[in-house]
Amino acid sequence: MKRPTLQTRPVPSVKTAKLRDRAEARLRQKPVRPKVGDSKSAVDPQRLLHELQVHHVELEMQNAELQESRDRMEALLEKFTDLYDFAPVGYLSLDEVGRILEVNLTGAALLGAGRAALINRRLPSYIAPPSRRTFLRFLEQVFAGTGKKVCEAPLQREDGTVFWADFHGTSAVSIRGPQKWCRVVISDITALKRAEEAQRRMEALAVSNEELRQEIVRRRAVEESLKQSERHLSRSLKQSRYMQEHLRHLSRQVLQAQEEERKRISRELHDVVAQTLTGINIRLATLKQEAGRNLKGFNRNIVRTQRLVEKSVDIIHRFARELRPAVLDDLGLIPALHTYMKHFTARTGVHTRLTAFAGVERLDTTRRTVLFRVAQEGLTNVARHAKASRVEINIQKLPDWICMKIKDDGKSFQVQRVLLARGGNRLGLLGMRERLEMVGGRFDVESAAGEGTTITAQIPFGQAVGGR
């Protein structure tokens, strides 16, 4: 009996070989039936049965894989359908003229029509007319370029309602032919537009509020400025009234001081000069009677009479110096101060010292006179009130000023109290201040216990002054 021959199997592929190996491994796991005999005639049917069993297992495995692939494809299809049709944005496929080739359910819902009714409809017909040209230009850019393009335009649904849409488009290549098409994503940005509009209005409102706040601040500042101006005007009026009253009071004090000075000069002339001249007259009458009787007594009376005449001349010179020293006009400020301070020391016993730079003599006559009168009044105050033993006058050059300081070692006083007092003790200080302010100068007084008093008088140069 001839044994049947097995047909030659084709050369298996790698995948088929792997499938056969897996089938044989699964077949080996199944229970094996007991053998009937051990003859060689049973080998070929057993091998054929094994091949059939392996092939059966392969078919079962292929069927399981196909079932698994189908389930996986159905899951992927369901996922794709969910991602495509139920995406939160609309997906459209458009050709070059904007004709709708494909659209998902979200896109159809955005346009307010069924998906089948939208196929082959031109999307630009849904664009609001004012923005249609912008959308067509967007499509041209999508088909002309390779990158993603963006556009915003209002869309009009089938029911006539309008919403703002955001378009993102990219060109695509068709695998079915040479037709050009592109993918476009549509999303409803009406809420965003409303939020942007609300934001713009809020910003405009914020700007208006800021402008209003600034205007309120400015008006309050103006109102406060007006109030300050009113208060300042009120203070100025009060100060003006006070200054007028003060000026009237000061004028009366000046008149009284002038009258007192005239009275003093009159008394001095009457009590000193007149008495001296009367004495001279009596002496002359006596000399007339004794001219021929006693020559020795005559000479003695002549000497006494000469002394009286010299005394009268000295008194008249003193009055002249106090009224207007001639040396100030003839020789200058420094010699005039030296002379006055020398007589001041002889009269009061207060030691004096003068330090000055020569350039002060280049000041005009008015300003030199002001400095002399301030120094004269300062020394008079020292003699009357300070009880000092030493006075120093220092005239120095500053960058734009000439500064004269009168410093004594006498007792101090409260400067403000004296300046605000209504008595006549302040006339000297006020007179010095008035004289300096007349020529644009400055006046200051400092007084401290144990340090004496310092009067500072500053006069601007006016014209350049040289020297040291």
Which candidate, 161, 141, 163, 158, places its Cα nearest to that of 150?
Answer: 141
pLDDT (tens place) for every residue of the chain, 468 residues total: 333 333 434 445 556 666 666 766 766 665 555 444 444 445 577 777 777 777 787 788 888 888 888 878 877 777 766 677 778 889 999 998 899 999 998 889 989 888 889 999 999 999 999 999 999 999 999 988 777 899 999 998 888 899 999 999 988 876 556 678 889 999 999 999 899 899 999 999 999 999 999 999 999 999 999 999 888 888 888 888 887 777 767 666 665 666 566 566 666 666 666 667 777 767 676 666 666 566 666 667 777 777 777 777 777 766 666 666 777 888 889 999 998 899 899 989 999 999 998 888 888 888 888 899 899 889 988 998 888 999 999 999 988 899 999 999 988 888 777 776 655 555 678 788 888 888 889 999 998 888 889 999 999 876 544 443
The rounded distance, in Å, linking the Cα atoms of 378 and 393 is 10
Number of other CB atoms surrounding residue 100 within 10 Å = 22
CATH of 86-188, one of 3.30.2130.10, 1.20.120.1200, 3.30.450.20, 3.30.365.10: 3.30.450.20
- The reported pLDDT for the residue numbered 75 is 73
Hey, how many other C-beta atoms are within 10 angstroms of the C-beta on 438? 11
Q: What is the mean pLDDT of the chain?
A: 79
C-alpha Rg value of the chain to the nearest Å:
64
Helix (H, G, I), strand (E, B) or coil at 13: coil
314: its two tokens:
């000295």
pLDDT tens digits along 237-254 = 888 888 777 776 766 666
Angle at 51 between CA 49 and CA 55, to 5 degrees: 115
Confidence (pLDDT) at 289: 63
How does DSSP classify residue 38?
-
Look up the pTM and report it.
0.42
Q: Which CATH class is domain 326-460?
A: alpha beta
pLDDT tens string 107-156: 899 898 888 899 999 999 999 999 999 999 999 999 887 778 999 999 98
The per-residue pLDDT for range 397-430, each reduced to its tens digit, is 988 899 999 999 988 888 777 776 655 555 678 7
> What pLDDT was estimated at residue 7?
40
Crossing angle of helices 14-29/43-85, nearest 10°?
A: 110
Bridge partners (DSSP) listed for residue 456? 405, 444
Q: Give, rounded to a whole angstrom, the gap between the first and last alpha carbons of the chain.
A: 157
**Residue 138's pLDDT is what?**
92
CA angle 306, 323, 406 (to 5 degrees): 115
What pLDDT was estimated at residue 14?
Answer: 58
Cβ distance 420 to 250 under 8 Å?
no
Rounded distance, CA 138 to CA 134, Å?
6
pLDDT at 178: 67
Q: Note the Cα 151 to chain centre separation in Å.
A: 44
CA–CA separation, 282 and 120 (whole Å)? 152
